[in-house]
Every structure is written in C-alpha cells, then in structure tokens.
Chain A
C-alpha cells in the first residue's frame, strides 16, 4: 500500500464516523425542519398538505406569536443587562480589587450554573409560592403585613418572575469568562495609569473595559442565543406559558404547537422563525457593539 493511500484511509476512518452521525442528526433535521415548515401536517397522517409559505402567513396574523416575540426580547434584554452588569462587577472585584477569598467566591458563584433547568424551576417555584414562599415571606417581614402575591399566577408579574432564576443561574459562567479576560491584561498598563493618578473607575473605563470588549461581545451573543433556545425549558416547568399567554415565548409555543396540538408544520415554521430571529439579533448586536479592537503592544 502506498503512503498516500494509507494516509487517505487513515483520515477517512477518523472523519467518517462523526461526519455520518452529523449528517443524520444535525444536517438532515435542519433541512427537514425547513421542509416541514412548508406543509400543513398533523404528524400522524401520511399525507402532508403543501401550503408553501402559508404557515408563515398564518404566523403574521397570530397575536400569540407577537406576544411570544415580545416576551423573548423582554427576557433577552433584561438578562443581558442583569447578567453583564453583575458578572462584570464581580469579575472586576475579584481581580482588580484584590478581595480576600476570590477563589472561594469564584467557585461558589458558579454553583447555580451546574443545576439542571428543572431543578432551578422547582426551587424558584417554591421561592415564589404565594402562601409560604421566601419572596412573600421577606416582603411580609419588610412591610410588616401579610403579603400573598401569586408571582407566577398573576399575568402582571409572571414574566418578571422568570428573570431572577435566569440571571441567578447565568452569572457564574460569564463571570469566569470575564475574569480570564481581565487576567490577561498586562499589569504595567494599570501601574502606569496609577502613577498618572487614575482612579479605579477611570482604570476600569479606559483600560479594563476596552480590553475585555471582545469577551463582552461574545457573552452578549451567547446570552441571546441561549435565551431564545433555552427559555422553553424554564417556561415549560414554571408556568407552561400562562397565565393567559403572559409568559409565552417562541420556544414554548413551538413545543405546544408541535407536541400538544399536533400542528407539526406550524411548529416547524416557528422553529425557522427562531432561527431567523436569533441570526438577525446576533448580526445586529455584533454590528452595534463593534469597536476598534484595542491591541496591546
């Protein structure tokens, strides 16, 4: 056997198992999702009715879709603000402020990140419990009167109630990312700034922030993608989209349409919408957050 043939066989034997599985379990389903979205199909019958872009037209007329997109953006917006502010603050505090026990905090703050979404949901449902939940307990104590707000059962509060668990469970991951970024900034930069009398705040604005901007950008994009995809799980366990669609999000609506009402075509069309929304949002955010990359010489 020639050396070239040996090499080709070797490469093929290493590439093909993954590539075949990838084609079956990723590439094919993507194409299939696009295909199914063009049909009116219950999933159980043999014949699929071709409706072209009918499902997408139906989506434009569906008020719940708008509600869901609104809620998705609501969650994304506040998650980005909440997670990035706290994660950045913690990262700066644990690196630049030289706080004692930095290693301890780093480990502990990541705890919520290793919990499954169902565990998070069960915990927070209990915190929100109207009659003996922690939140109403604290409010009752502070206000010195009995507070019994049904946080998840009242459409005025329900969407807000989904935010704290998401922020709580997301901080650790992004904090670690930003800590790594800050640690890679050369110390002499800070030292000379200090000699020039720059305050801690000025150092943050003029040194830290510009030099970690790439990681901030990556983090924001990651939050957006994971939120559009992941809010399905938390909504499913905590509120099932209710009350009165007040916590409906695209992901959960897709699941509901597909696996509860058996509108597989419509569900797939929602899937395509999620893809479009997340790509568009990502591109727009990348543009908005573009800055001159600061090179450290």
Chain B
C-alpha cells in the first residue's frame, strides 16, 4: 500500500498516537534520571516534574549504593542471574537436543510434561517451595535460587531451541561419526556451535527474566544481605512510607534498571526473535 493513499486523517491520527506513546514509554525513565539527581526540597516545592536544579546530586547514587546496600544487592543480582543463566543454558540445550533429534521410550511424554508446566501458575508453588527450600537446607542460599530459576526457564527455552536443532541437517552427524567423533563430540563440537543464535536468544531472554524476578526471591531470600535488586528496591520503598528520600529512591531504581536497558538495547533483535519463536506455538 502506498503511504500516500492512506486517508490523511488516519495517517495523522496514527502519527499523533505513536508520538504520544513514545512520550509515555520514554518519559518515565527520563524523569527517573531527573529525580535521582534532586534533593527532597526540589520535589516538595512543587517542582517534582521539572529538570533538576544545579548542582546535580550525583551523590544520591553513592548514598544508595552504600547506605541502602545497593552495592550488595547489585552483586547478588549478578551472581544469581549469571549462575542461573549458565545452568539454564546447559539444562535447556542438552534436553532440547535430545528431544529434537532422538526418539526413545518416553520422549513424547517428557516433551508434553515440560510444555504443559507452562500453564501452571508459579504462584501456587510458593508455599511448598518455601518448605522445600528449608528441607533441602537451601533457604536464603543462592544455590537454591539458581537451581529453581534455571529449571523454570527450561520449558520455554527448550521450545525455542528444539526448532533450531531440528533444522540442522542429519548429514552433519553422520559424517562426524564416520570421522570418529563420539555422540558428545557431535553435540559439543558441531551441533552446539551451529545453534549459537538460538542459545544467545534464550540466554538474553532468560537474563532479563532472572534479573527482574520478584515473587520467589521475596519469599525465599529473607536474609537482608541476600536480597536481589528488585527485593532491595521494594524494601527501600516500604521503609520510606512516611519520609521518602526521592533522590536515593530513584537512584536505586536506576541502578536496578540500567543493566537490563543496556542489554535490551544491545540485543533487541535477539529478544525480538525469542518472543516470536516462543509465543507462536
């Protein structure tokens, strides 16, 4: 359809709505940056939505980082997210590979078992999980949370990766086996490298999810030095019910957000592919 042939009224309406939504999407983030550089006086004097006065209070960031322990939370989030990402990658790739390229007793059942767990609301598992963690002596431990996060990411990731593995030609395996490669050699030296785009996609999508995870971390990490960023930010806001320190609060918000924004901007194509592959079942 030629751009010119569209009813100008529709075109103008669409442009205005698109611009409006651009403002809605970006402004809150910009505003958080402004807010994180102000002191409370500027907020309360009716200038909450203006640009920050000079000098900019960069000290809000170091204050939040030290006094509100965001340094610790940040490190915790990196450990939890990084660990879960690596483990999830391993679990997902091995399972997806075998289910995509081998047929064996129970392979069909296994596939449906994993896929059907996508419809289970994770919230109903929160009570048993709490007691399971203490029974396994992993309450308040990153080990427990990493195991849990990675297994929750398997069904969706497996779904995406199976497509990749299925599309690789069988001749590759056959010639490798003739050349004397073991089954593990075929997987690690040939199949895995060929599936790199898929591996990158699921890793990025998983990282965003692990970094932002809230409900399990809230219940299973009750020790303050083990909090991840979302929990730390939630607690910080809760403590400020009566006397809000806006600058530090928004500094904390940005510390939690900037890493995922960077990842998003760098990898938006892979995230896009992941959504499309994952949701079009």
0/1 per residue, B31-47, Cβ < 8 Å to A? 11001000000011010
Chain A residues in 8 Å Cβ range of B246: 126
**Contact between B212 and A117 (Cβ–Cβ < 8 Å)?**
yes
Per the bound structure, the CA–CA distance linking A165 and B1 in Å amounts to 35
**Contact between A109 and B21 (Cβ–Cβ < 8 Å)?**
yes
* Contact A108 to B230, CB < 8 A, known contacts A18-B154, A118-B214, A134-B49: no
0/1 per residue, B125-162, Cβ < 8 Å to A? 11111111000100000000001101110100000000
Is B119 part of the contact surface with A, judged by Cβ < 8 Å? yes
Binds A, one of B11-19, B51-59, B62-70, B194-202: B11-19
Is B110 part of the contact surface with A, judged by Cβ < 8 Å? yes
Chain A residues in 8 Å Cβ range of B183: 6-7, 10
* Contact A225 to B44, CB < 8 A, known contacts A18-B151, A97-B6: no
Q: How far is the CB of B9 from chain A (nearest CB, A)?
A: 11
Chain B residues in 8 Å Cβ range of A255: 123, 126, 215, 219
Is B164 part of the contact surface with A, judged by Cβ < 8 Å? no
0/1 per residue, A76-89, Cβ < 8 Å to B? 00000000001001
Dominant secondary structure of chain A at its interface with chain B? helix
Per the bound structure, the CA–CA distance linking A287 and B196 in Å amounts to 38
Chain B residues in 8 Å Cβ range of A272: 124
The 8 Å CB contact of A122, one of B90, B128, B148, B253, is B253
Q: How many residues of A contact B (CB 8 A)?
A: 94
Per the bound structure, the CA–CA distance linking A123 and B234 in Å amounts to 12
0/1 per residue, A221-238, Cβ < 8 Å to B? 010010011001100110
Q: How far is the CB of A41 from chain B (nearest CB, A)?
A: 10
**Contact between A115 and B120 (Cβ–Cβ < 8 Å)?**
no
* Contact A122 to B260, CB < 8 A, known contacts A225-B119, A275-B120: no
**Contact between B117 and A26 (Cβ–Cβ < 8 Å)?**
yes
Is B75 part of the contact surface with A, judged by Cβ < 8 Å? no
**Contact between A122 and B127 (Cβ–Cβ < 8 Å)?**
no
**Contact between A200 and B6 (Cβ–Cβ < 8 Å)?**
yes
Is B86 part of the contact surface with A, judged by Cβ < 8 Å? no
* Contact A110 to B268, CB < 8 A, known contacts A119-B253, A218-B281, A225-B119: yes
Chain A residues in 8 Å Cβ range of B261: 111, 114
Chain A residues in 8 Å Cβ range of B102: 7, 11
Chain B residues in 8 Å Cβ range of A50: none
* Contact A123 to B253, CB < 8 A, known contacts A21-B150, A21-B151, A111-B29: yes
0/1 per residue, B210-239, Cβ < 8 Å to A? 011011001100000000011101100100
**Contact between B233 and A26 (Cβ–Cβ < 8 Å)?**
no
Chain A residues in 8 Å Cβ range of B230: 116-119
For A267, the closest partner residue in chain B by CB is: B127
Point out residues on B near A: beta carbons under 8 Å.
1, 3, 6-7, 10-11, 14-15, 17-18, 21-22, 24-26, 28-29, 31-32, 35, 43-44, 46, 48-49, 90-92, 94-95, 97-98, 102, 104, 110, 113-114, 117, 119-132, 136, 147-148, 150-152, 154, 183-184, 187, 208, 211-212, 214-215, 218-219, 229-231, 233-234, 237, 246, 249-250, 253, 256-257, 260-261, 263-265, 268, 271-272, 275-276, 279-281
Q: List 10 A-B contacts (CB under 8 A).
A: A18-B91, A33-B125, A97-B11, A109-B25, A111-B261, A116-B211, A119-B230, A121-B234, A127-B28, A271-B127
Query: Closest 6 interchain pairs by CB?
Result: A271-B124, A116-B212, A32-B128, A29-B128, A132-B48, A14-B94
Given contacts A118-B214, A126-B35, A218-B280, 10 further A-B pairs with CB under 8 A are A17-B91, A26-B125, A89-B14, A118-B230, A132-B43, A134-B49, A190-B1, A200-B10, A272-B124, A279-B119
